Structure 1
Amino acid sequence: MNSLIPTAFLAIVGIAAAPAVEAGELWRATGLEQPESALFDAANNRIIVSNIVGNPGEADGNGYLSVLSLDGKTVTQHWTDGMDAPKGMTISGGKLYVADITKVRVVDLASGKLVASIAVPNAVFLNDMTSDRSGKVYVTDMLADTIYRIDGDRPELFVKDAMLASPNGIFADGIRLIVASWGKGIKPDFSTAEPGGLLSVDIASKMVSPLPGAQEFADLDGVFAIRDTIYATAYMTGTLYRYRPSGTPEAVAHFKPGSADIGTDGESILYVPLMNEGEVAALKLD
Protein backbone atom coordinates (compact mmCIF):
# COMPACT_ATOMS: atom_id res chain seq x y z
CA MET A 1 0.00 0.00 0.00
CA ASN A 2 -0.15 1.88 0.64
CA SER A 3 0.15 5.35 0.97
CA LEU A 4 -1.09 8.52 2.49
CA ILE A 5 -1.16 10.09 -0.98
CA PRO A 6 -3.78 12.83 -1.34
CA THR A 7 -6.09 12.62 -4.36
CA ALA A 8 -5.35 16.23 -5.18
CA PHE A 9 -1.70 15.44 -5.70
CA LEU A 10 -2.51 12.68 -8.17
CA ALA A 11 -4.67 15.06 -10.17
CA ILE A 12 -1.96 17.72 -10.19
CA VAL A 13 0.63 15.40 -11.69
CA GLY A 14 -1.87 14.34 -14.33
CA ILE A 15 -2.20 10.62 -13.62
CA ALA A 16 -5.61 10.48 -11.96
CA ALA A 17 -7.30 9.96 -15.31
CA ALA A 18 -5.24 6.90 -16.29
CA PRO A 19 -7.47 4.45 -18.15
CA ALA A 20 -8.73 1.29 -16.50
CA VAL A 21 -7.60 -1.99 -17.98
CA GLU A 22 -10.03 -3.75 -20.28
CA ALA A 23 -8.24 -6.69 -21.89
CA GLY A 24 -8.20 -9.72 -19.63
CA GLU A 25 -10.48 -8.28 -16.95
CA LEU A 26 -12.99 -10.82 -15.65
CA TRP A 27 -14.91 -8.83 -13.06
CA ARG A 28 -14.77 -6.03 -10.50
CA ALA A 29 -16.00 -6.18 -6.95
CA THR A 30 -17.30 -2.81 -5.73
CA GLY A 31 -18.44 -1.26 -2.47
CA LEU A 32 -15.18 -1.83 -0.58
CA GLU A 33 -13.44 0.81 1.56
CA GLN A 34 -9.81 1.44 0.61
CA PRO A 35 -9.11 -2.22 -0.17
CA GLU A 36 -5.37 -2.73 0.26
CA SER A 37 -4.88 -6.47 -0.11
CA ALA A 38 -6.75 -9.30 -1.83
CA LEU A 39 -5.76 -12.78 -0.66
CA PHE A 40 -6.90 -15.99 -2.35
CA ASP A 41 -7.95 -18.54 0.28
CA ALA A 42 -7.69 -21.79 -1.66
CA ALA A 43 -8.97 -24.06 1.12
CA ASN A 44 -12.22 -22.13 1.36
CA ASN A 45 -12.62 -21.00 -2.28
CA ARG A 46 -12.86 -17.32 -1.50
CA ILE A 47 -11.00 -14.02 -1.56
CA ILE A 48 -10.27 -12.12 1.65
CA VAL A 49 -9.92 -8.35 1.33
CA SER A 50 -8.45 -5.90 3.85
CA ASN A 51 -10.18 -2.51 4.13
CA ILE A 52 -8.20 0.40 5.62
CA VAL A 53 -11.08 2.93 5.99
CA GLY A 54 -9.13 6.08 6.81
CA ASN A 55 -5.52 7.10 7.30
CA PRO A 56 -3.28 4.07 6.57
CA GLY A 57 -1.05 4.97 9.50
CA GLU A 58 -3.67 5.78 12.13
CA ALA A 59 -4.83 3.38 14.85
CA ASP A 60 -8.48 4.41 14.59
CA GLY A 61 -10.27 1.06 14.90
CA ASN A 62 -12.04 1.53 11.55
CA GLY A 63 -10.35 -1.24 9.56
CA TYR A 64 -11.94 -4.57 8.74
CA LEU A 65 -11.79 -7.63 6.47
CA SER A 66 -14.32 -8.62 3.80
CA VAL A 67 -14.96 -11.90 1.99
CA LEU A 68 -15.65 -12.18 -1.74
CA SER A 69 -16.74 -15.17 -3.79
CA LEU A 70 -14.54 -16.27 -6.68
CA ASP A 71 -16.85 -14.46 -9.11
CA GLY A 72 -16.45 -11.16 -7.27
CA LYS A 73 -19.66 -11.09 -5.24
CA THR A 74 -19.59 -9.83 -1.66
CA VAL A 75 -20.19 -12.75 0.72
CA THR A 76 -19.57 -10.85 3.97
CA GLN A 77 -18.75 -7.14 4.04
CA HIS A 78 -17.66 -7.02 7.70
CA TRP A 79 -16.15 -10.46 8.25
CA THR A 80 -13.55 -9.33 10.80
CA ASP A 81 -13.87 -6.01 12.62
CA GLY A 82 -11.69 -4.43 15.30
CA MET A 83 -8.65 -3.58 13.22
CA ASP A 84 -6.99 -0.22 12.55
CA ALA A 85 -5.57 -0.07 9.01
CA PRO A 86 -5.15 -3.69 7.83
CA LYS A 87 -2.94 -4.22 4.81
CA GLY A 88 -1.07 -7.33 3.64
CA MET A 89 -2.16 -10.84 4.64
CA THR A 90 -0.94 -14.42 4.56
CA ILE A 91 -2.19 -17.83 5.67
CA SER A 92 -0.07 -20.18 7.77
CA GLY A 93 -0.98 -23.11 9.98
CA GLY A 94 -4.67 -22.64 9.36
CA LYS A 95 -4.58 -19.05 10.58
CA LEU A 96 -4.80 -15.73 8.80
CA TYR A 97 -2.11 -13.16 9.61
CA VAL A 98 -2.77 -9.48 8.88
CA ALA A 99 -0.31 -6.54 8.96
CA ASP A 100 -1.85 -3.68 10.95
CA ILE A 101 0.53 -0.70 11.40
CA THR A 102 2.68 -1.95 14.32
CA LYS A 103 0.86 -5.20 15.06
CA VAL A 104 0.18 -8.46 13.28
CA ARG A 105 -3.40 -9.58 13.78
CA VAL A 106 -4.26 -13.29 13.87
CA VAL A 107 -7.68 -14.37 12.62
CA ASP A 108 -9.43 -17.73 12.84
CA LEU A 109 -10.12 -18.76 9.25
CA ALA A 110 -13.28 -20.67 10.09
CA SER A 111 -15.09 -17.94 11.98
CA GLY A 112 -13.33 -14.71 11.00
CA LYS A 113 -12.83 -14.01 14.69
CA LEU A 114 -9.82 -11.95 15.73
CA VAL A 115 -7.98 -14.30 18.11
CA ALA A 116 -4.66 -12.54 18.79
CA SER A 117 -2.60 -9.42 18.20
CA ILE A 118 1.18 -9.74 17.98
CA ALA A 119 2.98 -6.50 18.80
CA VAL A 120 6.13 -6.09 16.71
CA PRO A 121 8.77 -4.16 18.73
CA ASN A 122 10.14 -1.06 16.94
CA ALA A 123 7.73 -1.47 14.01
CA VAL A 124 6.79 1.74 12.18
CA PHE A 125 4.55 0.86 9.23
CA LEU A 126 3.99 -2.85 8.68
CA ASN A 127 2.79 -3.53 5.18
CA ASP A 128 2.77 -6.81 3.29
CA MET A 129 3.03 -10.42 4.47
CA THR A 130 3.98 -13.87 3.20
CA SER A 131 4.76 -17.32 4.63
CA ASP A 132 7.46 -19.81 3.65
CA ARG A 133 7.32 -23.60 3.28
CA SER A 134 8.10 -24.15 6.95
CA GLY A 135 5.18 -21.98 8.04
CA LYS A 136 7.20 -19.00 9.20
CA VAL A 137 5.59 -15.65 8.47
CA TYR A 138 7.33 -12.53 7.16
CA VAL A 139 6.14 -8.91 7.22
CA THR A 140 7.70 -5.81 5.67
CA ASP A 141 8.13 -2.51 7.49
CA MET A 142 8.00 -0.02 4.66
CA LEU A 143 9.24 3.00 6.60
CA ALA A 144 12.10 1.21 8.38
CA ASP A 145 13.83 -0.76 5.56
CA THR A 146 13.08 -3.87 7.58
CA ILE A 147 11.57 -7.33 7.29
CA TYR A 148 10.38 -9.14 10.43
CA ARG A 149 9.82 -12.87 10.80
CA ILE A 150 7.18 -14.46 13.02
CA ASP A 151 7.47 -18.06 14.20
CA GLY A 152 4.25 -18.96 15.96
CA ASP A 153 3.58 -15.83 18.01
CA ARG A 154 7.20 -14.68 18.35
CA PRO A 155 8.30 -11.75 16.16
CA GLU A 156 11.98 -11.20 15.40
CA LEU A 157 14.03 -8.88 13.26
CA PHE A 158 14.85 -10.86 10.11
CA VAL A 159 16.77 -8.32 8.03
CA LYS A 160 17.30 -4.55 8.14
CA ASP A 161 19.13 -3.19 5.11
CA ALA A 162 19.09 0.14 3.25
CA MET A 163 19.10 -1.88 0.02
CA LEU A 164 15.49 -2.84 0.76
CA ALA A 165 14.61 0.80 -0.03
CA SER A 166 11.18 1.00 1.61
CA PRO A 167 10.14 -2.64 1.17
CA ASN A 168 6.45 -2.98 0.44
CA GLY A 169 5.33 -6.19 -1.28
CA ILE A 170 6.81 -9.54 -0.27
CA PHE A 171 6.40 -13.10 -1.54
CA ALA A 172 8.09 -16.31 -0.38
CA ASP A 173 9.36 -18.13 -3.46
CA GLY A 174 11.13 -21.31 -2.41
CA ILE A 175 14.43 -20.47 -0.72
CA ARG A 176 14.08 -16.75 -1.28
CA LEU A 177 11.82 -13.82 -0.57
CA ILE A 178 10.89 -11.59 -3.49
CA VAL A 179 10.52 -7.99 -2.35
CA ALA A 180 8.91 -5.04 -4.15
CA SER A 181 10.62 -1.80 -3.15
CA TRP A 182 8.78 1.52 -3.09
CA GLY A 183 12.03 3.46 -3.46
CA LYS A 184 14.45 5.75 -1.67
CA GLY A 185 13.88 9.23 -0.31
CA ILE A 186 10.13 9.09 0.28
CA LYS A 187 8.63 12.59 0.17
CA PRO A 188 5.54 13.85 2.05
CA ASP A 189 3.36 12.99 -0.96
CA PHE A 190 4.95 9.50 -1.07
CA SER A 191 6.73 10.12 -4.36
CA THR A 192 10.40 9.18 -4.18
CA ALA A 193 13.80 10.65 -4.98
CA GLU A 194 14.67 7.28 -6.50
CA PRO A 195 12.01 4.77 -7.60
CA GLY A 196 12.03 1.22 -6.38
CA GLY A 197 12.53 -2.15 -8.01
CA LEU A 198 12.50 -5.89 -7.41
CA LEU A 199 14.81 -7.59 -4.93
CA SER A 200 15.59 -11.09 -3.70
CA VAL A 201 16.40 -12.00 -0.10
CA ASP A 202 17.99 -15.40 0.49
CA ILE A 203 16.13 -16.93 3.45
CA ALA A 204 19.16 -18.85 4.75
CA SER A 205 21.86 -16.17 4.43
CA LYS A 206 19.55 -13.11 4.56
CA MET A 207 21.54 -11.62 1.69
CA VAL A 208 19.69 -8.92 -0.26
CA SER A 209 20.24 -8.89 -4.04
CA PRO A 210 18.67 -6.78 -6.81
CA LEU A 211 16.93 -8.72 -9.56
CA PRO A 212 18.79 -7.99 -12.82
CA GLY A 213 17.11 -5.47 -15.10
CA ALA A 214 14.39 -4.63 -12.57
CA GLN A 215 15.82 -1.69 -10.64
CA GLU A 216 14.68 1.92 -10.21
CA PHE A 217 11.67 1.66 -12.50
CA ALA A 218 8.61 2.35 -10.26
CA ASP A 219 7.31 2.91 -6.72
CA LEU A 220 6.24 -0.69 -6.22
CA ASP A 221 3.51 -2.00 -3.96
CA GLY A 222 2.25 -5.59 -4.26
CA VAL A 223 4.20 -8.53 -5.65
CA PHE A 224 3.51 -12.16 -6.52
CA ALA A 225 5.29 -14.89 -8.48
CA ILE A 226 3.62 -17.52 -10.64
CA ARG A 227 6.21 -20.06 -11.74
CA ASP A 228 9.04 -18.02 -13.34
CA THR A 229 7.03 -14.82 -13.76
CA ILE A 230 6.82 -12.00 -11.21
CA TYR A 231 3.93 -9.54 -11.17
CA ALA A 232 4.12 -6.23 -9.29
CA THR A 233 1.93 -3.15 -8.97
CA ALA A 234 3.04 0.49 -8.99
CA TYR A 235 0.66 2.35 -6.70
CA MET A 236 1.42 5.87 -7.91
CA THR A 237 0.63 5.19 -11.56
CA GLY A 238 -1.70 2.18 -11.28
CA THR A 239 0.53 0.10 -13.55
CA LEU A 240 0.74 -3.69 -13.33
CA TYR A 241 4.17 -4.99 -14.35
CA ARG A 242 5.38 -8.41 -15.44
CA TYR A 243 9.00 -9.49 -15.04
CA ARG A 244 10.74 -12.64 -16.22
CA PRO A 245 14.35 -13.74 -15.56
CA SER A 246 16.91 -12.03 -17.79
CA GLY A 247 14.27 -9.59 -18.97
CA THR A 248 13.01 -6.15 -18.00
CA PRO A 249 9.71 -5.14 -16.38
CA GLU A 250 6.87 -4.93 -18.88
CA ALA A 251 3.64 -3.02 -18.28
CA VAL A 252 0.74 -5.42 -18.87
CA ALA A 253 -2.22 -3.47 -17.44
CA HIS A 254 -3.06 0.08 -16.43
CA PHE A 255 -5.45 1.21 -13.72
CA LYS A 256 -6.05 4.50 -12.00
CA PRO A 257 -3.52 5.23 -9.21
CA GLY A 258 -4.05 3.06 -6.15
CA SER A 259 -3.31 -0.50 -7.32
CA ALA A 260 -2.05 -2.21 -4.19
CA ASP A 261 -1.26 -5.66 -2.76
CA ILE A 262 -2.14 -8.21 -5.43
CA GLY A 263 -3.24 -11.79 -4.88
CA THR A 264 -3.53 -14.76 -7.22
CA ASP A 265 -5.00 -18.23 -7.48
CA GLY A 266 -1.47 -19.37 -8.36
CA GLU A 267 -2.45 -20.39 -11.86
CA SER A 268 -4.06 -17.85 -14.16
CA ILE A 269 -6.01 -15.21 -12.25
CA LEU A 270 -4.69 -12.10 -10.52
CA TYR A 271 -6.69 -10.08 -7.97
CA VAL A 272 -5.82 -6.37 -7.90
CA PRO A 273 -7.10 -4.12 -5.08
CA LEU A 274 -7.85 -0.61 -6.32
CA MET A 275 -7.65 1.43 -3.12
CA ASN A 276 -8.85 4.74 -4.45
CA GLU A 277 -11.77 3.18 -6.32
CA GLY A 278 -13.01 0.91 -3.52
CA GLU A 279 -12.79 -2.05 -5.90
CA VAL A 280 -10.98 -5.31 -6.56
CA ALA A 281 -10.37 -6.32 -10.18
CA ALA A 282 -9.84 -9.89 -11.35
CA LEU A 283 -7.56 -10.35 -14.37
CA LYS A 284 -7.05 -13.39 -16.57
CA LEU A 285 -3.33 -13.80 -17.18
CA ASP A 286 -1.82 -14.81 -20.52
Structure 2
Amino acid sequence: MKTLITSILLAVIGIAAAPAAQAGEIWRASGFEQPESALFDAAGKRIIVSNIVGNPGEADGNGYLSVLSLDGKVVTRHWTDGMDAPKGMAISGGRLYVADITKVRVVDLASGRLVSTIDVPNAVFLNDMTADASGKVYVSDMLADAIYRIDGETPELFVKNAVLASPNGVFADGNRLIVASWGKGIKSDFSTAEPGGLLAVDLATKAVSQLPGAQKFADLDGVVAIGDSIYATAYVTGTLYRYTAGGKPEVVASFRPGSADIGTDGKSTIYVPLMNEGEVAALTLD
Protein backbone atom coordinates (compact mmCIF):
# COMPACT_ATOMS: atom_id res chain seq x y z
CA MET A 1 0.00 0.00 0.00
CA LYS A 2 2.83 2.38 0.87
CA THR A 3 4.41 1.86 -2.54
CA LEU A 4 1.08 2.51 -4.24
CA ILE A 5 0.50 5.73 -2.39
CA THR A 6 4.06 6.98 -2.77
CA SER A 7 3.94 6.48 -6.52
CA ILE A 8 1.35 9.21 -6.91
CA LEU A 9 4.11 11.71 -6.26
CA LEU A 10 6.52 10.11 -8.70
CA ALA A 11 4.28 9.49 -11.67
CA VAL A 12 2.85 12.92 -12.31
CA ILE A 13 5.66 14.75 -14.12
CA GLY A 14 4.52 16.58 -17.23
CA ILE A 15 4.30 19.84 -19.12
CA ALA A 16 1.54 22.36 -18.53
CA ALA A 17 -0.81 23.43 -21.26
CA ALA A 18 -2.02 27.00 -21.54
CA PRO A 19 -5.13 27.73 -19.45
CA ALA A 20 -8.38 27.78 -21.38
CA ALA A 21 -10.14 31.07 -21.91
CA GLN A 22 -13.03 30.27 -19.59
CA ALA A 23 -11.00 30.74 -16.39
CA GLY A 24 -8.43 33.38 -15.53
CA GLU A 25 -5.78 33.24 -12.83
CA ILE A 26 -6.04 36.02 -10.23
CA TRP A 27 -3.02 35.18 -8.10
CA ARG A 28 -0.73 32.34 -7.10
CA ALA A 29 0.75 31.79 -3.62
CA SER A 30 3.88 29.70 -3.15
CA GLY A 31 6.06 28.15 -0.46
CA PHE A 32 3.73 25.33 0.62
CA GLU A 33 4.77 21.72 1.14
CA GLN A 34 2.58 19.42 -0.97
CA PRO A 35 -0.62 21.46 -0.54
CA GLU A 36 -3.49 19.01 -1.01
CA SER A 37 -6.58 21.05 -0.18
CA ALA A 38 -7.56 24.73 -0.20
CA LEU A 39 -10.74 25.45 1.77
CA PHE A 40 -12.58 28.79 1.72
CA ASP A 41 -13.56 29.94 5.22
CA ALA A 42 -16.34 32.46 4.67
CA ALA A 43 -16.65 33.59 8.31
CA GLY A 44 -12.91 34.00 8.69
CA LYS A 45 -12.47 35.59 5.25
CA ARG A 46 -9.48 33.39 4.51
CA ILE A 47 -8.32 30.19 2.85
CA ILE A 48 -7.04 27.23 4.86
CA VAL A 49 -4.43 25.04 3.16
CA SER A 50 -3.42 21.50 4.15
CA ASN A 51 0.27 20.52 3.73
CA ILE A 52 1.13 16.81 3.49
CA VAL A 53 4.96 17.09 3.72
CA GLY A 54 6.08 13.60 2.70
CA ASN A 55 4.37 10.32 1.91
CA PRO A 56 0.59 10.88 1.63
CA GLY A 57 -0.07 7.61 3.45
CA GLU A 58 2.56 7.76 6.20
CA ALA A 59 1.83 8.74 9.82
CA ASP A 60 5.02 10.79 10.20
CA GLY A 61 3.78 13.82 12.16
CA ASN A 62 5.05 16.24 9.49
CA GLY A 63 1.73 17.58 8.23
CA TYR A 64 0.30 20.98 9.05
CA LEU A 65 -2.25 23.64 8.05
CA SER A 66 -1.57 27.13 6.70
CA VAL A 67 -3.74 30.24 6.36
CA LEU A 68 -3.93 32.47 3.28
CA SER A 69 -5.65 35.83 2.89
CA LEU A 70 -8.20 36.20 0.10
CA ASP A 71 -5.66 38.16 -1.95
CA GLY A 72 -3.14 35.34 -1.80
CA LYS A 73 -0.85 36.47 1.03
CA VAL A 74 0.37 33.95 3.61
CA VAL A 75 -1.10 34.94 6.98
CA THR A 76 0.22 32.01 9.05
CA ARG A 77 2.53 29.38 7.57
CA HIS A 78 2.20 26.90 10.46
CA TRP A 79 -1.30 27.52 11.83
CA THR A 80 -1.95 23.96 13.05
CA ASP A 81 0.86 21.43 13.49
CA GLY A 82 0.85 17.85 14.74
CA MET A 83 -0.80 16.13 11.79
CA ASP A 84 0.46 13.33 9.55
CA ALA A 85 -0.67 13.82 5.95
CA PRO A 86 -3.69 16.18 6.07
CA LYS A 87 -5.84 16.34 2.96
CA GLY A 88 -9.49 17.42 2.55
CA MET A 89 -11.25 19.68 5.06
CA ALA A 90 -14.76 20.75 6.08
CA ILE A 91 -16.20 23.35 8.45
CA SER A 92 -19.07 22.60 10.84
CA GLY A 93 -20.16 24.11 14.15
CA GLY A 94 -17.15 26.37 14.56
CA ARG A 95 -14.77 23.50 14.01
CA LEU A 96 -12.56 22.44 11.16
CA TYR A 97 -12.50 18.74 10.27
CA VAL A 98 -9.39 17.44 8.50
CA ALA A 99 -8.93 14.05 6.79
CA ASP A 100 -5.64 12.52 7.95
CA ILE A 101 -5.07 9.01 6.49
CA THR A 102 -7.29 6.88 8.79
CA LYS A 103 -8.30 9.60 11.24
CA VAL A 104 -10.14 12.89 11.20
CA ARG A 105 -8.55 15.77 13.10
CA VAL A 106 -10.78 18.37 14.73
CA VAL A 107 -9.44 21.91 14.97
CA ASP A 108 -10.87 24.93 16.76
CA LEU A 109 -11.61 27.33 13.93
CA ALA A 110 -10.94 30.46 15.98
CA SER A 111 -7.55 29.51 17.38
CA GLY A 112 -6.21 26.80 15.09
CA ARG A 113 -5.72 24.54 18.10
CA LEU A 114 -6.02 20.80 17.51
CA VAL A 115 -8.75 19.76 19.96
CA SER A 116 -9.41 16.09 19.19
CA THR A 117 -8.83 13.16 16.86
CA ILE A 118 -11.59 10.92 15.53
CA ASP A 119 -10.57 7.36 14.70
CA VAL A 120 -12.55 6.10 11.70
CA PRO A 121 -12.94 2.29 11.99
CA ASN A 122 -11.78 0.32 8.93
CA ALA A 123 -10.62 3.45 7.10
CA VAL A 124 -7.82 2.94 4.55
CA PHE A 125 -7.06 6.28 2.87
CA LEU A 126 -9.34 9.16 3.85
CA ASN A 127 -9.25 11.97 1.34
CA ASP A 128 -11.75 14.80 0.76
CA MET A 129 -14.38 16.22 3.13
CA THR A 130 -17.56 18.30 3.02
CA ALA A 131 -20.38 19.37 5.35
CA ASP A 132 -24.11 19.38 4.56
CA ALA A 133 -26.69 22.00 5.57
CA SER A 134 -27.41 20.20 8.85
CA GLY A 135 -23.76 20.24 9.89
CA LYS A 136 -23.01 16.58 9.28
CA VAL A 137 -19.57 15.97 7.82
CA TYR A 138 -18.66 13.48 5.09
CA VAL A 139 -15.25 12.06 4.24
CA SER A 140 -14.29 9.87 1.28
CA ASP A 141 -12.16 6.74 1.63
CA MET A 142 -10.52 6.58 -1.77
CA LEU A 143 -9.03 3.10 -1.49
CA ALA A 144 -12.11 1.46 0.04
CA ASP A 145 -14.93 2.68 -2.28
CA ALA A 146 -16.55 4.21 0.80
CA ILE A 147 -17.81 7.46 2.29
CA TYR A 148 -18.15 8.01 6.04
CA ARG A 149 -20.46 10.44 7.83
CA ILE A 150 -19.52 12.18 11.06
CA ASP A 151 -22.11 13.69 13.40
CA GLY A 152 -20.26 15.74 15.99
CA GLU A 153 -17.40 13.35 16.68
CA THR A 154 -19.20 10.08 15.95
CA PRO A 155 -18.23 8.41 12.64
CA GLU A 156 -20.34 5.91 10.75
CA LEU A 157 -20.12 4.24 7.38
CA PHE A 158 -22.48 6.20 5.15
CA VAL A 159 -22.13 4.28 1.89
CA LYS A 160 -19.82 1.62 0.48
CA ASN A 161 -20.33 0.78 -3.16
CA ALA A 162 -18.00 -0.37 -5.93
CA VAL A 163 -19.81 2.05 -8.28
CA LEU A 164 -18.07 4.89 -6.42
CA ALA A 165 -14.84 3.64 -8.07
CA SER A 166 -12.22 5.16 -5.75
CA PRO A 167 -14.17 8.21 -4.56
CA ASN A 168 -11.91 11.19 -4.03
CA GLY A 169 -13.63 14.58 -4.09
CA VAL A 170 -16.92 15.08 -2.24
CA PHE A 171 -19.13 18.17 -2.11
CA ALA A 172 -22.51 18.58 -0.37
CA ASP A 173 -24.98 20.12 -2.81
CA GLY A 174 -28.52 20.39 -1.44
CA ASN A 175 -29.96 16.92 -0.90
CA ARG A 176 -27.04 15.10 -2.50
CA LEU A 177 -23.33 14.55 -2.35
CA ILE A 178 -21.43 15.13 -5.56
CA VAL A 179 -18.57 12.67 -5.84
CA ALA A 180 -15.48 12.85 -8.05
CA SER A 181 -14.28 9.32 -8.80
CA TRP A 182 -10.64 8.52 -9.53
CA GLY A 183 -11.57 5.33 -11.38
CA LYS A 184 -11.43 1.55 -11.19
CA GLY A 185 -8.37 -0.67 -11.08
CA ILE A 186 -5.78 1.77 -9.73
CA LYS A 187 -2.30 0.77 -10.93
CA SER A 188 1.12 1.34 -9.37
CA ASP A 189 1.50 4.67 -11.20
CA PHE A 190 -2.01 5.70 -10.11
CA SER A 191 -3.38 5.38 -13.62
CA THR A 192 -6.56 3.32 -13.82
CA ALA A 193 -7.96 0.43 -15.80
CA GLU A 194 -11.12 2.52 -16.18
CA PRO A 195 -11.23 6.30 -15.65
CA GLY A 196 -13.49 7.92 -13.10
CA GLY A 197 -16.30 10.40 -13.49
CA LEU A 198 -18.91 12.39 -11.58
CA LEU A 199 -21.55 10.74 -9.41
CA ALA A 200 -24.22 11.74 -6.92
CA VAL A 201 -25.25 10.12 -3.65
CA ASP A 202 -28.74 10.87 -2.33
CA LEU A 203 -28.39 11.99 1.30
CA ALA A 204 -31.72 10.46 2.29
CA THR A 205 -31.70 7.14 0.44
CA LYS A 206 -27.92 6.72 -0.07
CA ALA A 207 -28.62 5.74 -3.67
CA VAL A 208 -25.59 6.21 -5.95
CA SER A 209 -26.06 7.43 -9.52
CA GLN A 210 -23.75 8.51 -12.30
CA LEU A 211 -24.23 12.02 -13.69
CA PRO A 212 -25.32 11.76 -17.34
CA GLY A 213 -22.56 12.67 -19.79
CA ALA A 214 -19.88 12.70 -17.08
CA GLN A 215 -19.10 9.00 -16.78
CA LYS A 216 -15.62 7.51 -17.17
CA PHE A 217 -13.89 10.57 -18.62
CA ALA A 218 -10.92 11.24 -16.27
CA ASP A 219 -9.19 10.21 -13.04
CA LEU A 220 -10.76 12.88 -10.86
CA ASP A 221 -9.58 14.43 -7.60
CA GLY A 222 -11.31 17.52 -6.13
CA VAL A 223 -14.84 18.73 -6.80
CA VAL A 224 -17.04 21.76 -6.02
CA ALA A 225 -20.38 23.09 -7.27
CA ILE A 226 -21.16 26.71 -8.12
CA GLY A 227 -24.73 27.36 -9.19
CA ASP A 228 -25.66 24.78 -11.80
CA SER A 229 -22.04 24.00 -12.70
CA ILE A 230 -19.75 21.35 -11.22
CA TYR A 231 -15.98 21.79 -11.32
CA ALA A 232 -13.54 18.92 -10.88
CA THR A 233 -9.79 18.45 -11.12
CA ALA A 234 -7.83 15.59 -12.68
CA TYR A 235 -4.65 15.30 -10.64
CA VAL A 236 -2.48 13.36 -13.09
CA THR A 237 -3.11 15.72 -16.03
CA GLY A 238 -3.58 18.95 -14.04
CA THR A 239 -6.91 19.62 -15.78
CA LEU A 240 -9.84 21.56 -14.35
CA TYR A 241 -13.19 20.56 -15.85
CA ARG A 242 -16.63 22.16 -15.80
CA TYR A 243 -19.83 20.14 -16.15
CA THR A 244 -23.46 21.18 -16.35
CA ALA A 245 -26.44 18.83 -16.46
CA GLY A 246 -27.28 17.77 -20.01
CA GLY A 247 -23.80 18.51 -21.28
CA LYS A 248 -20.35 16.98 -21.22
CA PRO A 249 -17.28 17.96 -19.18
CA GLU A 250 -15.26 20.76 -20.75
CA VAL A 251 -11.74 21.91 -19.92
CA VAL A 252 -11.64 25.38 -18.33
CA ALA A 253 -8.02 25.46 -17.13
CA SER A 254 -4.87 23.37 -17.29
CA PHE A 255 -1.94 23.20 -14.90
CA ARG A 256 1.05 20.96 -14.39
CA PRO A 257 0.09 17.61 -12.85
CA GLY A 258 -0.86 17.87 -9.19
CA SER A 259 -4.13 19.84 -9.05
CA ALA A 260 -5.89 18.38 -6.02
CA ASP A 261 -8.85 19.15 -3.69
CA ILE A 262 -10.21 22.49 -4.86
CA GLY A 263 -12.18 25.02 -2.83
CA THR A 264 -14.56 27.84 -3.77
CA ASP A 265 -16.19 30.96 -2.40
CA GLY A 266 -19.42 29.67 -3.93
CA LYS A 267 -19.64 32.62 -6.29
CA SER A 268 -16.99 33.09 -8.95
CA THR A 269 -13.65 31.98 -7.52
CA ILE A 270 -11.99 28.57 -7.29
CA TYR A 271 -8.87 27.86 -5.25
CA VAL A 272 -6.63 25.17 -6.75
CA PRO A 273 -3.87 23.53 -4.67
CA LEU A 274 -0.96 22.59 -6.94
CA MET A 275 0.54 19.82 -4.88
CA ASN A 276 3.70 19.14 -6.87
CA GLU A 277 4.60 22.82 -7.22
CA GLY A 278 3.92 23.83 -3.62
CA GLU A 279 1.47 26.51 -4.75
CA VAL A 280 -2.17 27.56 -4.54
CA ALA A 281 -3.78 29.33 -7.49
CA ALA A 282 -6.96 31.42 -7.43
CA LEU A 283 -9.10 31.40 -10.58
CA THR A 284 -11.95 33.66 -11.58
CA LEU A 285 -14.70 32.07 -13.67
CA ASP A 286 -16.71 33.51 -16.55
Q: Tell me whether the two structures share a fold, i.e. TM-score over 0.5.
A: yes
1:10: Cα distance to partner?
3.4
2:17·2:256 contact (CA, 8 Å) conserved in 1? yes
Q: How far apart, in 1, do the equivalents of 2:10 and 2:161 lie?
A: 33
Is 1:9 aligned with 2:11?
yes
TM-align CA RMSD: 1.3
2:20·2:251 contact (CA, 8 Å) conserved in 1? no
Paired letter, 1:10: V
Mean Cα displacement is larger for which, 2-11 or 34-43? 2-11
Q: Where does 1:183-202 land on structure 2 (aligned, <5 Å)?
A: 183-202=183-202
Taking a change above 3 Å as real, the CA distance of residues 4 and 249 of structure 1, as seen in their structure-2 partners, is farther
Taking a change above 3 Å as real, the CA distance of residues 89 and 183 of structure 1, as seen in their structure-2 partners, is same
Taking a change above 3 Å as real, the CA distance of residues 220 and 37 of structure 1, as seen in their structure-2 partners, is same
Q: How far apart, in 1, do the equivalents of 2:75 and 2:110 lie?
A: 14
1:84: Cα distance to partner?
0.2
1:98: Cα distance to partner?
0.3
Q: How far apart, in 2, do the equivalents of 1:213 and 1:95 lie?
A: 36
1:197·1:219 contact (CA, 8 Å) conserved in 2? yes
Taking a change above 3 Å as real, the CA distance of residues 249 and 3 of structure 1, as seen in their structure-2 partners, is farther
Q: How far apart, in 1, do the equivalents of 2:11 and 2:97 lie?
A: 32
Taking a change above 3 Å as real, the CA distance of residues 200 and 8 of structure 1, as seen in their structure-2 partners, is closer
1:17: Cα distance to partner?
1.1
1:20·1:256 contact (CA, 8 Å) conserved in 2? no
Q: How far apart, in 1, do the equivalents of 2:139 and 2:199 lie?
A: 15
Partner of 1:278: 278
1:96-135: CA deviations, max 9, x gaps? 0000000000000111000000000000000000011111
User: What SS class does the counterpart of residue 10 from structure 1 fall into?
Assistant: coil
User: What SS class does the counterpart of residue 21 from structure 1 fall into?
Assistant: coil
1:9: Cα distance to partner?
3.2
1:188: Cα distance to partner?
1.0
Quote the sequence identity (%): 79
Partner of 1:113: 113
1:21: Cα distance to partner?
3.1
Q: Where does 1:245-264 land on structure 2 (aligned, <5 Å)?
A: 245-264=245-264
Taking a change above 3 Å as real, the CA distance of residues 179 and 6 of structure 1, as seen in their structure-2 partners, is closer
Aligned residues: 281
1:18: Cα distance to partner?
1.9
Paired letter, 1:196: G
Partner of 1:21: 19
Q: How far apart, in 2, do the equivalents of 1:38 and 1:6 lie?
A: 19
Q: How far apart, in 2, do the equivalents of 1:148 and 1:207 lie?
A: 14
Is 1:70 aligned with 2:33?
no
Mean Cα displacement is larger for which, 16-25 or 36-45? 16-25
Q: How far apart, in 2, do the equivalents of 1:5 and 1:158 lie?
A: 29
Gaps (5+ residues) in structure 1?
A: none
User: What SS class does the counterpart of residue 11 from structure 2 fall into?
Assistant: helix
Q: How far apart, in 2, do the equivalents of 1:238 and 1:101 lie?
A: 23
2:185·2:192 contact (CA, 8 Å) conserved in 1? yes
Partner of 2:175: 175
User: What SS class does the counterpart of residue 43 from structure 1 fall into?
Assistant: coil
Q: How far apart, in 2, do the equivalents of 1:213 and 1:263 lie?
A: 23
1:232-282: CA deviations, max 9, x gaps? 000010000000000000011000000000000100010000000000000
1:6: Cα distance to partner?
5.2
TM-score normalised according to structure 2 size: 0.96
Gaps (5+ residues) in structure 2?
A: none
Partner of 1:266: 266
1:20: Cα distance to partner?
5.3
Q: How far apart, in 2, do the equivalents of 1:249 and 1:62 lie?
A: 36
